Structure 1
């Protein structure tokens, strides 16, 4: 990691390489293998672009018409600008989800192969002929559960003939001496229990470059020994069967530089997390499949549970320190999608395994913890503003970076639109002529479009009885989906307000650090909830009083947001109450398939790979 301006080298000419050459000549580039016709991919991208442009234009036109009753004044123009900023993320989410459902209905179990033809090149019987490093960066985490997860993968691999091809690295950035001692003790215990396994532990004295810097130093030291490396987060869980599937695909696909697995949530104990990951699972399933259809070779990198070709990554995906001052300068907090763009610029594909497999992560245990995580990701994604103009990136990679920004730009824009609308309420002449039915219809359309990824993901389950049974049956899936949507409607304004305040703070040089995440808690205390969420509460109460005095009918539009903001503190606390959490577990509400597995099923036999 060097403190230099980010000026990458120009693209070299593309040259075909076989697998061995990729390892030994990382500075060369690959040509299109032709397994998916490039012209067909361009047509897909043009179709998706056209659909999104039309959708955004229609939604913008409808809002312009609604605000035009009585003529447009400055505040309404400002509202239109804010509204326009929310539309790209809304539209792309809808179309990705619709495409995902269509692909799933049309191709069923083969949908992932359709969007990633490389998956069709393997049978699952191929020998492992490469060396792989499994790396887990840690920073002030409780090492016991993280090492337990890592040992779980190693134990599974030990039941296959391929265990000798995998080495394990614990890369510590911990600056807490007590936690560091526990890390060292845990690794030492692992080594004593499995002396035949290569388990490496390295602790840096400084957290230079954050996680990306930690991995960069690992590659400088040991990267040349491995064909691939598999980065895992401290809360990652992967099964050997999924890892071996990724390795086999990469072995026969020298054009692929990154192969990202679809990551789903683990069974959890709190009502909040169970609801969150239930909705996230269904939204991500349809969204990822649809996105993979047009992203193709410019797929995502989520930073963990992804197999990476070591040599080109080390040669082309190192992240220098961004020049300048302020929260958008310095080391890149959100390294993942930028690394994917750099890998594609180097001539290698980034692909996604758009199917559910044994690839999981833990999700935050409370709303307060979720917001803290979102703020760090928001800060990192906003740094992409400085990277959109990097020379040599493909157009699709630039779109990917912009969408990463848009994901966190949409929430503040939405909140600004609402606040400007509240200001408009003080100008009765501007709103008196607007037909209520028009506004309510537009509000309902936007709400449905916003929920489309989750609705399409639920539809994927409900149309397939076998899938629905894995979740407890169609009735339970429908009930859980309905309750989750209601819960998410309460959560969304609270999170959006927090992001809005944070984005505003970026203009005043406020930024987040890289601290350990809170991954486990029995409940959220009232004092902590109040400390984190008092701004939401104050804003919700003030908006409610403002609208009630000036335009009481506007409370119809604002009720979901006003209730959520005003009651942010009790909502955050109640959704972690042990009694409510136990009730959801005992009744199967928000159950995912892993919740309903028996102990023998959780052992995850490895089929053809069992030694």
Structure 2
């Protein structure tokens, strides 16, 4: 067991032989699972002969499989590591095997806070708290704070300038503070960081990249710096980012589910990705010299929404850094590195569609020269993450159509094999969550951190219902957006609404009418064509049908308070918040609740930004 799940080589890097063996094992597991599920689907269809439309459905089913089987085996490997490896973290990131947690900081790190029309009060509090933490650690002199603005709204620009002056007045004796605003935000965030590199990059060893909603505690920042100092061949070191405690019911349930699947999934993926790890664009440390030399992003040629600047820059920069011979590693440790998740479904969709737009540009990068095989596969998977949605929607629509085209279709499909296929797929879908839940329930300390066994089980049940309602809504949103891209229409990259706010019916309907129409047509179809199949079709049509009230309820500050007071969907930071999190004054934390009866949120009765 130890031979499979741990080994290390020189300079904190797994030996090439071990990395190759792990990738071979993972490819074999996922490949056999892919072929097995495809064979099971084909066998179920063969009972009455494979119809032409079933051949199309089989092809669509294959498109949806890669993320499914990869997520399953990531979770299985992660669970095995958590339960059987003596040191799971070192097994997937050998940098941690010889970590020197008390080594002096001897390098210069630029803290890059990237802004674009953001609510400034929250940014100010996060930055102040990070600086106070670094001052307590005695390391502040080794950092330089850069506020890198791409803002265009006059009132926001004025707030940024006041913040910069305030920070310079308070902290100027301990840390350099630089504020810069670009009048033209060409290439968006990647252009913002490229401008920093061109102006000031030569003056620093590392850059800590933060978004406006990012927060990192000082020990977590210093851990990244010390590891990067010790391991000179590491070009990007990505921290494991978790959601901040929140009063939003939507974000609360979503990030609880993410937290359940995150540990096993990240450990499993890091086990085989190794030195070709992910970069998520924030809460990560960059080695500036190779980043500036090797990660310059090209402009994509041609016309249409997939041309121009690369929008989802992070994964491209990761594969380019690895192509240059530098490692890209993830630090799979929960705690100390946070982000703020979208507070409602409308904002969640807007963020996801921005990623969808950027990932589709990878189609033009698949032939990039010199990429490692794992890196090229990562680009393919990033595309399939969204292409799988229209494939799934088309598969479901064709499945419903078969009942109309063939009165005796059920007699042509093997029910036993169909049931086996359904159980297999559902097991793979929920494997990442169940793997981590099993590990949490097996450990008394972790059970208490998540609120106790009863709350965990109830929270998991609620989160599964939430996920089943959410999944088809997102799939339809991706499908509609990809159809627009195919017709030459792109999206807009506007500021994210981060404050808790209610979502008016008009805003929800304007954004979610395709989902509502899909659900209504689905109910009408099954009621008139195949009433016996309404019940098994509910997971597909119920979420879209209820998407507008679902959005209203999960965005409601009232139901956010109810969720918080119930203790459901609790994360460890709520049970035992650090001093730095308490200083942020988050309404979901005990210190904030002691000041207000229910921790009053920043409440805005206004439509989310379109």
The aligned counterpart of 1:186 is 163
Q: Look up the match of 1:387.
A: 365
Structure 2 equivalent of residue 492 of structure 1? 471
2:6 is aligned to none
Give 3-state SS (helix, strand or coil) of 1:207's partner: coil
| Distance in structure 2 (CA, Å) of the matches to 1:320 and 1:476 | 49
> Of 154, 168, 173, which residue of structure 2 is paired with 1:177?
154
Change (3 A) 1:561 1:539: same
Deviation string 1:473-504 (CA, Å, 9 cap, x unpaired) is: 12211211111111111111111111111111
CA drift at 1:556 = 3.1
Is the Cα contact below 8 Å between 2:109 and 2:206 reproduced in 1?
A: yes
User: Post-superposition shift, 1:569?
Assistant: 0.8
- The equivalent residue for 1:544 is 523
Shift of 1:435: 3.8
Please, which moves more after superposition, 140-149 or 78-87?
140-149
Within 2, Cα distance between the matches of 1:327 and 1:425?
Answer: 38
Q: Which of 448, 460, 483 is equivalent to 2:439?
A: 460
Q: Any stretches of 5+ residues in structure 2 without a counterpart?
A: 1-8, 584-610
Quote the residue 1:21 is aligned against.
none
8 Å Cα contact 2:90/2:97 also seen in 1: yes
CA distance in 2, matches of 1:32, 1:123: 16
Q: Paired residue for 1:478?
A: 457
Matched residue SS, 1:555:
helix
Distance 1:234 1:34 in 2: 32
Q: Distance in 1 between matches of 2:579 and 2:303?
A: 55
Corresponding residue SS for 1:432: helix
1:545-584 equivalent positions in 2, closer than 5 A = 545-584=524-563
SS of 2:207's equivalent in the other structure is: strand
When residues 478 and 509 of structure 1 are mapped into structure 2, their CA distance, relative to the original with a 3 A threshold, is same
SS of residue paired to 2:111: strand
Which of 121, 132, 138 lines up with 1:144 in the alignment?
A: 121
In 2, Cα distance between equivalents of 1:437 and 1:542: 29
2:596 corresponds to: none
SS in 2 for 1:426: helix
Change (3 A) 1:398 1:598: closer
Partner of 2:221: 243
2-side partners of 1:391 and 1:298: how far apart? 16
Distance 1:327 1:339, change over 3 A: same
TM-score calculated relative to the size of structure 1: 0.91
**Is the Cα–Cα contact under 8 Å of residues 121 and 252 in structure 1 kept in the other structure?**
no
TM-score (norm 2): 0.92
CA distances 1:366-419 after superposition (whole Å, capped 9, x unpaired): 111101110000010111111111100000101111111111122221111101
Contact 1:69/1:431, CA 8 A, preserved across alignment:
no
Superposed, 1:495-506 pairs within 5 Å as 495-506=474-485
Cα shift at 1:595: 1.4
Determine helix, strand or coil for the equivalent of 1:69. helix
Tell me, yes or no, if the aligned pair for 2:247 and 2:500 is still in contact at 8 Å: no
Q: Which residue of 1 aligns with 2:106?
A: 129
* 1:529 Cα offset (Å): 0.9
Q: CA deviation at 1:544?
A: 1.7
Aligned to 1:19: none
Q: CA deviation at 1:436?
A: 3.6
Contact 2:49 2:412 in 1 (8 A): no
The equivalent of 1:7 in structure 2 is: none
Which residue in 2 is equivalent to 1:267?
245
Pairing 1:295–2:273 present? yes
Q: 1:495 to 1:514 in 2, by over 3 A?
A: same
Shift of 1:98: 0.9
How far off is 1:34 after superposition?
A: 7.3
1:285 aligns with 2:263: yes
1:119-154 Cα distance to aligned partner (Å, 9 max, x none): 222231100010000001111111221122122111
1:355 corresponding residue in structure 2:
333
Tell me how far apart the structure 2 counterparts of residues 257 and 34 of structure 1 sit (CA, whole Å). Answer: 13
Tell me if structure 1 keeps the 8 A contact 2:12–2:231. Answer: no
- For residues 449 and 581 of structure 1, the distance between their equivalents in structure 2, rounded to whole angstroms, comes to 30
* Structure 1 unaligned regions, length at least 5: 1-30, 605-611
Q: Secondary structure at 2:85's aligned position in 1? A: helix
Match of 2:488 in 1: 509
Q: Could you say if the C-alpha distance between residues 602 and 505 of structure 1 is closer, same or farther in structure 2, counting changes exceeding 3 Å?
A: closer
- Residue 455 and residue 406 in structure 1: after superposition, are their counterparts in 2 closer, same or farther (change >3 A)? same
- Name the SS for the 2:47 alignment partner: coil
Q: Which residue of 1 aligns with 2:142?
A: 165
Matches within 5 A, 1:444-459: 444-459=423-438
Contact 2:105/2:139 (8 A) holds in 1: yes
Q: Are the aligned partners of 2:43 and 2:417 in contact in 1 as well (CA < 8 Å)?
A: no
Matches of 1:60 and 1:572, distance apart in 2: 36
* Deviates most, 63-72 or 396-405: 63-72
Q: How far apart are the structure 2 equivalents of 1:401 and 1:355?
A: 25
1:439 equivalent among 403, 418, 437: 418
How many residues were matched structurally?
A: 573
Q: Show the counterpart of 1:94.
A: 72
Does the aligned pair in 2 maintain the 1:70–1:431 contact within 8 Å?
Answer: no
Instruction: Map Cα deviations across residues 60-115 of structure 1 (whole Å, 9 max, x no partner).
Output: 1111122223222221111111100000000000000111111111236x311111
Alignment check: 8 A CA contact 2:75 2:432 kept: yes
RMSD of Structure 2 on Structure 1 (CA): 1.6
